[in-house]
A and B are shown apart, each in its own frame.
Chain A
Amino acid sequence: MKPRLVPFGDAAYRLPLPPGANGRAVLEALRAVPRVVDAVVTERHALFTFDPQGGTPDGLEELVELAEQAASVPAPALAVRQHMVTVRYDGLDLEEVARATGMSSADVAARHASRTYVVAAVGFLPGFAYLRELDAKLVLPRRSTPRSRIPARSVAIAGLYTGIYPFASPGGWNIIATADAFEAFDVRSGATMSLGDRVLFTRGPS
Chain B
Amino acid sequence: MIEIVSIAGFATIQDGGRPGHMHEGVPKGGALAPELMSRANVAVRNAPEEAAVEVVGAMSFVARVPLTVATDDGVARALACNDRFSTANGPEVRMRYIAVRGGIDVPAVLGGRGTLVVARLGGHEGRPLRRGDVLRVRDARPRDTSLPAFPDLVAPVRVIVGPDVDRFDRATIEAFFAASFTIDAGSDRVGIRLAGPRFVREQEADAPSAPMVSGAIQIPPSGQPIVLGPDHPTTGGYPVIATVVRAHLGPLAARPIGASVRFRL
Q: Contact residues of A with B, CB < 8 Å?
A: 6-12, 14, 27, 31, 37-47, 49, 52, 121-128, 130, 141-142, 158-159, 166-167, 169, 185, 187-188, 190-191, 195
Q: Give the top 6 A-B pairs by smallest Cβ distance, nearest first.
A: A123-B235, A9-B243, A47-B211, A191-B24, A40-B211, A38-B22
Out of A45, A125, A190, name the residue touching B210 (CB < 8 Å).
A45
Q: Chain A residues with Cβ under 8 A from B116's Cβ?
A: 126
Chain A: minimal CB distance from B219 (Å): 15
Question: A46-B211, A52-B245, A124-B235 given as contacts; is B118 within 8 A of A169 (CB)?
Answer: yes
Residues A190 and B21 in contact, CB atoms below 8 Å apart: yes
Q: Chain B residues with Cβ under 8 A from A31's Cβ?
A: 23
Residues A11 and B246 in contact, CB atoms below 8 Å apart: yes
Q: Number of residue pairs across A and B with beta carbons under 8 Å?
A: 142
Q: With CB as the reference atom, state the residue of chain B lying closest to A36.
A: B20
Q: With CB as the reference atom, state the residue of chain A lying closest to B213.
A: A12
- B41 on the A face (CB < 8 A): no
Chain A: minimal CB distance from B242 (Å): 9
- B120 on the A face (CB < 8 A): yes
Residues B118 and A14 in contact, CB atoms below 8 Å apart: no
- B121 on the A face (CB < 8 A): yes
Q: Which of B24, B118, B244, B246 has the most CB of A within 10 A?
A: B24
Give the contacts of B112-132 with A (CB-CB under 8 A): 116, 118-121, 126
Residues A43 and B245 in contact, CB atoms below 8 Å apart: no
Give the contacts of B161-213 with A (CB-CB under 8 A): 162-163, 206, 208-213
